[in-house]
Amino acid sequence: MSMSKALMETIKNNQLQKVIDFLEYQRERFDIPKEKLEKNGQIIYANGNDGTDFDWEANNRLCEFGYGVEDGSVWAFKLLVNKDGSAEVYCYPNGEMSPIDTVKDDRFMSKLEVEELKDFMYDVADASMNWDMTLEELGIA
């Protein structure tokens, strides 16, 4: 699906900014400097395993957004945005194997906003064969 530039800007400024702000708040809450995270704390869109469409249809959510730990082997913070508009962040600030905290927001976005974000992420990532890239590398942050 190809969307207009105006709609893409709206999604970037609204839905994508919510993702960035939610993750940034968690990073700051645990006082983790960006320099201690993979790619200097740039947010990653992890669509490389399944792709946006698969996660949407099979798992009822978008692919993960998050920060990796410095060596890139595990997540430091992982955000799941679900079809129903809810979201949860799993916090592994020091690369723990199990999250030490989980933060949920049942009203993170409307269902329409999530679907628009899904289409947006598919267009900028999957459709262009861009896998597991940062939002900066995708040119959207």
Residue 139 lies in a domain: no
How far is residue 55's CA from residue 27's CA, in Å, rounded to a whole number? 25
Residue of 99, 97, 91 lying closest to 30 (CA atoms): 91
pLDDT of residue 65: 98
Residue 85 lies in a domain: yes
pLDDT higher than threshold 80 for residue 1: no
Q: Is 63 helix (H, G, I), strand (E, B) or coil?
A: coil
Q: Is 79 helix (H, G, I), strand (E, B) or coil?
A: strand
How far is residue 88's CA from residue 22's CA, in Å, rounded to a whole number? 9
Number of domains within the chain: 1
pLDDT of residue 96: 87
pLDDT tens profile 33-87: 999 999 999 999 999 999 999 999 999 999 999 999 877 678 999 999 999 999 9
Domain, as residue range, for 9: 5-134
CA distances to 27, 36, 62, 102, 119 from 69, rounded to whole Å, are 11, 7, 21, 17, 28
Phi, psi angles (nearest 5°) of residue 100: -90, -10
Residue 40 lies in a domain: yes
Q: Which residues contact 135 (CB under 8 A, 6 or more apart)?
A: 16, 20, 42, 43, 44, 45, 141
Residue 22 lies in a domain: yes
Residue 141 lies in a domain: no
Residue 74 lies in a domain: yes
Residue 84 lies in a domain: yes
